[in-house]
């Protein structure tokens, strides 16, 4: 049973194109949600999203390769490059013991949409020869592995909105049980397209307020749906003795992981919250969280009516009603929107930094408490407080539940 630590962080988000900028925005309660700039929204019910802004892909991908690389892979490569540089691990690990676990909930939706239109308008000859490798969801993991000569275990986990958290959790266990010495782990997504917006709107998942300042209100009584986001969040997970031997900076230790399924409905969470509660309990048990330990939870907190109510109940069932009210909880999706498969990766980055700095991010736009969501969601302003553990939870379509736990190394 080997210890596993975090030695590098990388992020491309709607509130910043690197970790430092993103984290500074989150601590300040700055939102990345705005009117959609990528395409005309006049025919759509939803006109807002949390887009990545002013991002220069040529910092990470050769210009000649951009036309054959989907945006979700570009974001993954960018965040992975930041994390690898931050960790200093490149060239200091056996390639056979270096892995990549980067998932995407949807994969190359930009490429799928663009090539579908090209074929419909101009026929099959206009479909890119790179269409399939741009579209498939494993290409972020594959491209990052090629980039950093990571020849160990390489997996693209796909569990919808729980993808990033499952990727990090499975990577943690792979190192813990000896399959690798370090893994580049997280999630990436770039699904802000007319087709995605129309699809999520049709299934009543997105907010239709269309006011960037009030559209995303996790745990608030006014919530009516999530806001789509995009980007990538990546952690370098490394076996503790390996990291120590090379003098690596250690942000935190990852010490718990829970994985469960509702087995209930393809989109709706199980009303009794048994599934997510079980994932939290499993992670708590592995992390050995004690009764008096101080815990911060970066909640899934999508701002949908069912999710936030169910997640609140899950936390109560996992910790007990009285202790749940003592927890510090927030949804950073109030600022980043819901980054789908990338959400868990980015929220893990924020959870690690919250532990490292003793600053717990807020849930912005919180004004009208909901009697069914009655915990401490750190309303509107960050809190300076040291905690013993930080936890990140994720729930995905299909009933997938994930929870990871960090502590100071």
The per-residue pLDDT string of the chain (409 residues; one tens digit each, 9 = 90 and over) reads 899 999 999 999 999 999 999 999 999 999 999 999 999 999 999 999 999 999 999 999 999 999 999 999 999 999 999 999 999 999 999 999 999 999 999 999 999 999 999 999 999 999 999 999 999 999 999 999 999 999 999 999 999 999 999 999 999 999 999 999 999 999 999 999 999 999 999 999 999 999 999 999 999 999 999 999 999 999 999 999 999 999 999 999 999 999 999 999 999 999 999 999 999 999 999 999 999 999 999 999 999 999 999 999 999 999 999 999 999 999 999 999 999 999 999 999 999 999 999 999 999 999 999 999 999 999 999 999 999 999 999 999 999 999 999 999 8
Q: And the tokens for 101?
A: 């676990």
Rounded to an integer, what is the distance from CA 124 to the centroid of its chain?
35
Residues 6+ apart with CB under 8 A from 10: 18, 19, 78, 79, 80, 81, 82, 83, 84, 86, 186, 232, 233, 234, 235, 349
Q: Out of 166, 242, 300, 400, pick the active-site residue.
A: 300
pLDDT score at 44: 97
The third-level CATH classification (topology) of the domain covering 256-407 is Peroxisomal Thiolase; Chain A, domain 1 (3.40.47)
Whether 300 sits among the annotated catalytic residues: the reply is yes
Which of 255, 289, 377, 290 shows the shortest CA–CA distance to 327? Answer: 377
Quote the CA–CA distance of 300 and 344 in Å, as a whole number: 8
Q: Out of 161, 216, 373, 403, pick the active-site residue.
A: 161
Edge to edge, the sheet with strand 98-103 lists 154-155, 98-103, 182-189, 231-239, 4-12, 252-261, 400-407, 389-396, 295-298, 328-330
First and final CA of the chain: distance in angstroms?
16
pLDDT score at 1: 83
Residues carrying CATH 3.40.47.10, the chain: 4-245, 256-407
Alpha helices by DSSP H, listed for 288-408, are 305-319, 321-324, 333-336, 343-357
Q: Out of 166, 242, 338, 400, pick the active-site residue.
A: 338
Distances (CA, A) of 127 to 12, 67, 110, 123, 153: 29, 13, 13, 8, 32
Q: And the tokens for 24?
A: 């500074």
Q: What CATH number does the domain located at 4-245 have? A: 3.40.47.10
């Amino acid at each position: 049973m080997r210890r596993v630590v975090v030695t590098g962080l990388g992020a491309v988000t709607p509130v910043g194109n690197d970790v430092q900028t993103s984290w500074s925005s989150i601590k300040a309660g700055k939102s990345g949600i705005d009117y959609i700039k990528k395409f005309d929204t006049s025919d759509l019910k939803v006109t807002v999203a949390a887009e990545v802004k002013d991002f220069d892909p040529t910092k990470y991908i050769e210009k000649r390769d951009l036309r054959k690389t989907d945006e979700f892979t570009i974001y993954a490569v960018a965040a992975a490059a930041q994390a690898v540089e931050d960790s200093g691990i490149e060239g200091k690990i056996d390639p056979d013991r270096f892995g990549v676990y980067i998932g995407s909930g949807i994969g190359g939706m930009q490429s799928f949409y663009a090539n579908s239109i090209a074929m419909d308008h101009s026929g099959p000859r206009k479909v890119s020869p790179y269409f399939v490798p741009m579209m498939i969801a494993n290409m972020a993991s594959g491209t990052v592995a090629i980039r950093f000569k990571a020849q160990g275990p390489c997996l693209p986990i796909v569990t919808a909105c729980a993808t990033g958290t499952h990727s990090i959790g499975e990577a943690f266990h792979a190192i813990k049980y000896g399959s690798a010495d370090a893994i580049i782990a997280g999630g990436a997504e770039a699904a802000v397209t007319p087709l995605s917006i129309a699809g999520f709107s049709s299934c009543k998942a997105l907010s239709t307020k269309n006011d960037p300042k009030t559209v995303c209100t996790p745990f608030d009584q006014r919530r009516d749906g999530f806001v789509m986001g995009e980007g990538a969040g990546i952690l370098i997970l490394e076996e503790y003795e390996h990291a120590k031997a090379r003098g690596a900076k250690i942000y935190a230790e990852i010490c718990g992981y829970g994985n469960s399924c509702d087995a209930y409905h393809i989109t709706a969470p199980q009303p009794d919250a048994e599934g997510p509660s079980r994932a939290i309990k499993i992670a708590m048990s592995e992390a050995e969280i004690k009764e008096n330990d101080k815990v911060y939870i970066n909640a899934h907190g999508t701002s949908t009516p069912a999710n936030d109510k169910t997640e609140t109940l899950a936390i109560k069932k996992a910790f007990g009603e009285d202790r749940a009210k003592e927890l510090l909880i927030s949804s950073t999706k109030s600022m980043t929107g819901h980054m789908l498969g990338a959400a868990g990766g980015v929220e893990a980055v924020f959870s690690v930094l919250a532990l490292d700095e003793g600053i717990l991010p807020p849930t912005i736009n919180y004004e009208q408490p909901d009697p069914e969501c009655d915990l401490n969601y750190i309303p509107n302003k960050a809190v300076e407080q040291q905690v013993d553990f930080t936890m990140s939870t994720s729930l995905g379509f299909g009933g997938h539940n994930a929870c990871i736990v960090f502590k100071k190394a």
